[in-house]
Chain A
Amino acid sequence: MKNKLLTKLFLLPIFLMVGTVAMAQITVTGTVSDATGPVPGVNIIVKGTTNGAQSDFDGNYTLNDVASDATLVFSYLGYVTQEIAVNGQTTINVTMSDDIQALDQVVLIGYGSTTVRDATGSVASVTAKDFNQGVISSPEQLIQGKTAGVQITETSGEPGAGINFNIRGSNSIRSGNNPLFVIDGVPLSGGGAPAAGVGTIGGGQARNPLAFLNPNDIESISILKDASATAIYGSRGANGVVIIQTKGGRGNSEGVWELSSSISSSGVRNSYDLLDRGQYLQALEDFGNNPDALDFGFNNDFQQAILRTSTSTRNDVSYSKSYKGGNFRASFGYSNQFGVIKNSDQERIAGRLNAQHKFFDNKLTVSLQSSISRVNDQGAPISAQAGSTGDLIGSAITANPTWPLSETFDPGSNLLNPVNLLANYQSNSKTNRFLANLSLNYDFTDELSAKVTGGYDLSDGETVSVFGPGVAGLNQVSGVGDGIYNTNENENTLLEATLRYEKDLGNVNLDVLGGYSYQKFDRNGINSGGRGFRTGTLDDLQDQLVGTFEAADAAIQGGYQQFGYDANGGFVARFDPNAETPFEFDNTIPTFRRTIRAYYATVFDNFDELQSFFARANVNINDKYLFTGTFRADGSTLFGEDNKYGLFPSGAFAWNIHNEDFVGESVSTLKLRVGAGAVGNSEGLAFGQALLRTGLVGIGFNGDGTLTPAGTRFVGNSNPELQWESTIDYNVGFDFGFNNDRFNGTLNVYRRETDNLILTSQLAAPQQPGIVNITKNLEDGTVVNQGIEVGLNYNFVDTDDWSFDASFNIGYNQNEVEDTNQVIDAGPINGNGLTGAFAQRVQAGQPLFSYYVAEFTGFDADGFPTYRDVNGDGVGDPDSDKTFVGKSALPDITSGLSLSARYKNFSLSTFFNAQAGFYVYNATDNAFFTAGGITIGKNVTQAAITSGEDGAASTAVSDRFLEKGDFVRLQNATFSYDWPLEEDSIFSSLRLSVTGQNLFLITGYSGLDPEVSSNTGTINASAIPTRGIDYAPFPRPRTVTFGLNARF
């Protein structure tokens, strides 16, 4: 290999010289520019040869030895590739135009790029010009609804809320259906950002894992959907891969400042129709209560008391410049987004520097993409896992309207006063994140290149969350106060080396890539909590929490893994793996200033490693027949001893039918793609599940504020056979384009079968003490997703004054669980009298997230609910007569429609999003808005008191609360105006815009919004995630944004 290579190196110049002598040629010169000026770095190649040049700093180029009848090809990423016949000209000036051809769009695939036209797999890319506008708190919102078969749902309207990001349905029966995110070549660690629980109220929602990225820094987002594209990511590719590329400084030879600024106003689109004072007192009377005993004399709307109209701002500035041999872009952004519920906001400060420079005659390319950001979150006491007492929202929508709007009012009877709750809770998270990627690419020859990449991603976060002693009605917390202080440092290190060989053999083009990748995910931090505060503001209490940890940390000599103290004393637990007794317990703790009555802290520190070998070969025959084969071997510490490495092959074939002679000129694109592959999913595998680990018993508070005893135990039931979940995926696709792709589209049909399903489920008893579950791969069971996706684009009008484009996508996905005897209850429903209640079940023959509930058959003459008798015992009982009702929370159809029109400097773009064929469980109604609510003195909706239900009626889960969720939403409408500029203006462009988001919603759903996913927790070992459950969620706001974008 090496010999051959060297031979070629020596021979290359000789060939060139021979060529010069052999033929009579001309020299062509010229300037390459675009709308803003000269473009350096454009590749100019004499078609069909290796003879080429690049435009210099001023856009000039010189190309020697060009046959007078040759054709020059001008290409540059982001511009339309142009072919110009020389026809004897010696000067050819070219104006490059932005790449508007959808099918020539560059798509990043793992460890390289291709174009939609050359791709063999099912890949899509959305670039900045097509991104959604408005308040975009994180990158995935930029492409929401833009691609067929991709469903992106924020779990709530909270700033920084987590996301469900599903590409072609859900493969896993447990959590872990989000794709792999790769940012500038660095794959992120799996899972969402950790959720911060809300004290004793319940667990929180997972946070958005991409919130640290400034959406304005993103150039493109590529989505790899099928296995032939994702197999290069092996054990992490099964849910698809989303590759995010940030902006560089290419094409800006003059240096461009860009300033964008926006201000937004958000409010709720709708709210619950609650009873006011008069209606409430009347309803109490009607339902046999004693209104006098419950009348506190006021008339307040507690729903409005926690809501607000919020104003958010975003400001970004960037400078980018390209120069001979390199380019760079630096940006700084600041955004501050306020939620429509008080005390919820997210602030982001983000800086980025991307630079690229070529050395040694462009042989060595050094690229750096780096970002540093700080995200500050503030959260309100909201949890979809709240039980009978509810959370901030639950208490607000059920609060007695005659209560005073007082922060100190205590309603008693286990009830929460939302105003008091809001005033006595404070939760803040701060996360610093540094993500950088440095790569060196060296072209040994035109054919052989190598690249070494180092990636580093450090996320350093802390959360401090307190309930002050003044909070009323919270068991164990009222009068005492309770708080947590957690830190979490995640360090993700990547080292990668790839070797690439490209060879043009005339009719055959060969592109072969091989590589090695090593990635390490380090985690460490503390979980600590305190109970029993001295007085102070909530800020003081937060300081006391952190201060107590710091004081203890300083006072304790040597390392420790856990410490704690309460009224009865204190202890320090130490760990040394090499000692005779690895765990040591001191039954005392050194003295330090104690501002909190009881406190504990536990340290964690562990890591996972992933080591991979991969290869890909692309063969292109005559631009007609394209073959791709990929292979990856992934070894991971997450896998068991017996299954250290997984192998993931894939292959694809594409036929460019339009390049065949029998296809007419009007057909600009016609391509058939066929691909298949095996990919894996290892999300859901956590540290050390394959090993028998002895660790410290988790620590916490007893009801009286003392600590539970410390001790050691087995941390889990170990499974040495554990491995990845495997998906076999088949995809057949057609790409077509007519009239120079003015009308183009794509059609894909796919089927994916996932088995080896990872499931945490009960181990056969007896199990390790305190731990019922084992994580294992199911021996049986397959999840099948199959579907069709269609994407269509049509450019109706395109003149200097007018243009009108439409882009439509629709995806149909069918999901089913097959061949397993597992029956797993899922979809917990929380609230009063609903402990252990659930609405969904996983079972063979049904889609995931299928509803399994009693069938409500109306109220009897007395107003008591009746249910269909399913088990034939003569009684319709809501709990023993559950059945599958043929409805699922997964949409059959997801669709998006973008319309954009331009008249001179005015443009209008609208984006509609629709989903159909899914059902929402209205757990808000189930838990709060029944006649039983008014009987116990809680406020309800108008509908609850007019349903004919008796006030003593028991409430159970049934299809009474199950509703069709189909909707069409005007997600986004942007009207913008490009300010006409004088030639000598300091601006090169100036654009003003107004954007509306979530402007209207067409749906038959009776709750606030059918696009919802409350994380109501888990009801059994399997921890099946929740979908389609509406439990008093953080409302999705309606937002209007005024924006300004200037370049100069």
Chain B
Amino acid sequence: MMKKLKMNRLLPYFLGAVVMTFAVSCTDLEVEETDSVNTVGFEGILDPPSFIDGLYGSLNGQVGDQANLFAISEVTTDEFLIPTRGSDWGDNGIWRQLHQHNWLTDHAFITNTWNQWNQTHFAAAQLLSPLTTLTAEQSGDAYFLRALGMWVILDNYGQVPVRDPEASLLEDPAVIRGEEAVAQIISDLEAAISNLPAGGPGATNDRGTKAAARYLLAKVLLNKHVYLGTAPDGGDMSRVISLVDDISGEGYGLQAGYFDIFREGEDVETIWYLPTAVGNRIWNGLHYNMAPEIAGGGWNGFSTLSEFYDLFEGDSEINVPGSGQEERRGFVPTEGVAFTGDAGTTESGDFPGFEAGSNVGFGFLINQQYEIDGTPLNERGGNPLTFKRDFRDGDGNVSLINNDETTGIRVMKYNPRYGGFTGHEIFFRYADAHLMKAEAMMRSGGDATTMVNELRILRGATPLGSVSEQQMLDERGRELYAEFWRRNDMVRFGQFTRDWELKDPSAVGDTNLNLFPIPASQIILNPNLTQNPGY
């Protein structure tokens, strides 16, 4: 009997414990909002100001990087190539393919650029969704960034996937092309111009302004005939001219002192800069031994072709100070300069009395490079560091691989003496607008010579007698090298498919290459996309 009593007394407790287990723990499996706001579908942008901050912030990486948009805009042209130097810069062939024009559909930079700038216009579309509440100025930013993202995609890939922010992310995005895409971009830019704040030249134009939107609209209109496969339209050209005039009306213009434009601080040329470190533009070409004092320094990759270097006035064999070159070709200092305490500069720690980094030249670096005290520098193998015009392998054959550390002329637009982490990288510049206007005049039957010479005289170059298409393209190259525009310009001038040194012969004349392929992975993911011809 004892047994049974105990058991009966215990049974309820035990069953109770079991029931408690269920009661305490049975769950509907809902996720609580402990450190994020969670929704099943899109319900609008929660906090537009911080979202817009984040969106502009993401452009820093997209523009500041030496890879992705910069690489596919510059390394695919006669302005840049990166030979494989010993084991350096092989990087799975990624750099060589760009210059040779034999990129594949899974090229990482082509894929990344596609993803990044599509994200930009999608984020802007999320802001413009009726579920998000925006101020007029915020909507100006959103229209501007949506247009920018779509334009980068249209310009490089010829088709733009668009997503309804409210639809499931698993739905296939629709795709817009040609006329429809251009019209969308133009209408967004018109909305941006009316909603964005006016902002003249200043230290703070690191966000969208009326001038930046006008500049971008001028750029779109100047290229519109390329996207539509037609001849340039007179109405578009005159609109380019009036847009540039509007920008100039806000106080922007050309400014003397070419390399000072690429420093932090105010100037009348900078329409839009990104507060991203300029180091990538510096280190990618600088030799390892050239900037020991500047943290970050020297990756010894990017070089230019001698044929591009030869576009500039001056003796092609020498580029030390005062050797008759035009201002924009820069110079290689044979020793550093005395430290003056000029804004943005620092005194060298290893060589007191000198300005740190002032042994690194401006523009184009060729031949022997020097230490700050004038000592000739060596490469890592202990031999003299002399940058050479040609790309030759160990046997003297012209080659993109098996190069040593010294082949190729280096390009230095942002100078390390003003800091490697200076957050001031120019994206839109008035000199470009000035040349766009000149080109629009030329394309609508006018004469651009005066406008081009206005710039040339300011840059210390001999005025031209007349300006042909070729001279217009060359002038754009001389003024805007390493500023993202070379591919776009060469396509518009029909020269992107011409031959140049170390281009794959089978790529020459292949107009399919004017557009990049839709990335291989993306073609599989979205059946609404069609692969561009030739890929």
Binding site for B on A (CB under 8 A): 9-10, 284, 287-294, 360-361, 363-364, 388, 412-414, 440, 442, 444, 450, 452, 475-480, 495-497, 499, 516, 518, 561, 575, 577, 581-583, 585, 603-607, 609, 611, 635-637, 641, 644, 687-688, 691-695, 697, 702-706, 708-713, 715, 717-721, 761-772, 774, 776, 821, 823, 825, 831-838, 862-864, 873, 877-880, 927, 930, 932-933, 935-937, 950-957
Contact = CB atoms under 8 A, between A and B. Distances in A.
Contact of A764 (B90, B125, B161): B161
Interface stretch (B9-17, B236-244, B429-437): B9-17
A764 B172 contact: yes
Contacts of A776: 170
Given A412-B292, A768-B123, A293 B394 contact: no
Contact of A518 (B27, B121, B288, B295): B27
A360 B14 CA distance: 13
A625 B401 CA distance: 70
A552 B277 CA distance: 28
Contacts of B405: 936
Given A496-B21, A762-B522, A832 B87 contact: yes
B382 A717 contact: no
Contacts of A364: 10
Contacts of B53: 709-711
Contacts of B97: 879-880
B29 A703 contact: no
Given A695-B35, A762-B115, A479 B29 contact: no
16 contacts: A360-B10, A582-B37, A605-B34, A692-B42, A695-B35, A712-B46, A712-B54, A720-B40, A764-B172, A765-B522, A766-B125, A880-B104, A927-B87, A952-B394, A952-B403, A955-B86
Minimum-distance CB pairs A-B, first 4: A879-B93, A290-B382, A293-B382, A704-B421
A697 B92 contact: no
Given A694-B39, A765-B118, 20 more contacts: A10-B4, A291-B382, A495-B25, A561-B35, A582-B46, A703-B277, A703-B420, A704-B422, A705-B421, A713-B54, A719-B169, A762-B521, A762-B522, A767-B119, A831-B87, A879-B90, A880-B104, A927-B87, A952-B393, A955-B87
A479 to B, nearest CB: 7
B285 interface: no
B83 to A, nearest CB: 9
Contacts of B58: 769-770
B41 interface: yes
Contacts of B106: 825
A247 B118 CA distance: 58
Interface string B52-87: 011101100000000000000000000000001111
A367 B492 CA distance: 80
Nearest to B13: A442
A111 to B, nearest CB: 14
B89 A937 contact: no
B279 to A, nearest CB: 6
Interface string B382-394: 1100000000011
A693 B86 contact: no
A833 B86 contact: yes
A263 B352 CA distance: 56
B343 interface: no
B497 to A, nearest CB: 19
B207 to A, nearest CB: 12
Interface in B156-185: 161-163, 168-170, 172-173
Which among A442, A635, A713 has the greatest number of chain B C-beta atoms within 10 A? A713
Contact of A605 (B35, B172, B295): B35
Nearest to B7: A363
Given A764-B161, A832-B87, A709 B525 contact: no
Given A9-B4, A581-B46, A688-B31, A703 B296 contact: yes
A585 B50 contact: yes
Nearest to B525: A764
B315 interface: no
A583 B53 CA distance: 14
Nearest to A703: B421
Contact of A715 (B36, B163, B381): B36
Interface of B: 3-4, 6-7, 10-11, 14, 17-18, 21-22, 24-27, 29-42, 46-47, 50-51, 53-55, 57-58, 84-94, 96-97, 102, 104, 106, 108, 114-115, 118-123, 125, 149, 161-163, 168-170, 172-173, 277, 279, 288-289, 292, 295-298, 378, 380-383, 393-395, 401-405, 419-423, 506, 520-522, 524-526
Question: By DSSP majority rule, is chain B's interface helix, strand, loop, or mixed?
Answer: mixed
Nearest to B17: A452
A64 to B, nearest CB: 17
Contacts of A294: 381-382
Contacts of A292: 382
A287 B379 CA distance: 14
Contact of A284 (B35, B55, B172, B382): B382
B67 to A, nearest CB: 9
B292 A709 contact: no
A186 B123 CA distance: 44
Contacts of B382: 284, 289-294, 937
B10 A606 contact: no
A863 B25 CA distance: 70
B31 A952 contact: no
Given A879-B93, A950-B402, A637 B30 contact: yes
Nearest to B298: A414
B29 A636 contact: yes
Contact of A702 (B93, B169, B423): B423
Contact of B121 (A360, A450, A766, A932): A766
A694 B295 contact: no
Contacts of B114: 765
B7 A711 contact: no
A787 B269 CA distance: 70
Contacts of A823: 520
Which among B32, B33, B149, B506 has the greatest number of chain A C-beta atoms within 10 A? B33
A695 to B, nearest CB: 4
B47 A712 contact: yes
Contact of A765 (B33, B91, B93, B526): B526
A791 to B, nearest CB: 39
Which among A414, A605, A693, A933 has the greatest number of chain B C-beta atoms within 10 A? A414
B288 A413 contact: yes
Contact of B35 (A290, A575, A711, A880): A575
B168 A954 contact: no
Contacts of B394: 862-864, 950-953
A880 B35 CA distance: 45
Contacts of B115: 762, 765, 767, 772
A834 B90 contact: yes
A708 B123 CA distance: 19
Nearest to B150: A766
A864 B402 contact: yes
A776 B525 CA distance: 12
Given A711-B50, A763-B525, A838-B92, A833 B296 contact: no
Nearest to B378: A293
A495 B289 contact: no
B154 to A, nearest CB: 13
Nearest to A838: B92
A875 B422 CA distance: 43
A880 B100 CA distance: 12
A766 B524 contact: no
A495 B24 contact: yes
Contacts of A360: 6-7, 10
A718 B121 CA distance: 19
A412 B377 CA distance: 13
B92 A609 contact: no
Which among B6, B35, B173 has the greatest number of chain A C-beta atoms within 10 A? B35
Which among A292, A611, A838 has the greatest number of chain B C-beta atoms within 10 A? A611
A706 B37 CA distance: 28
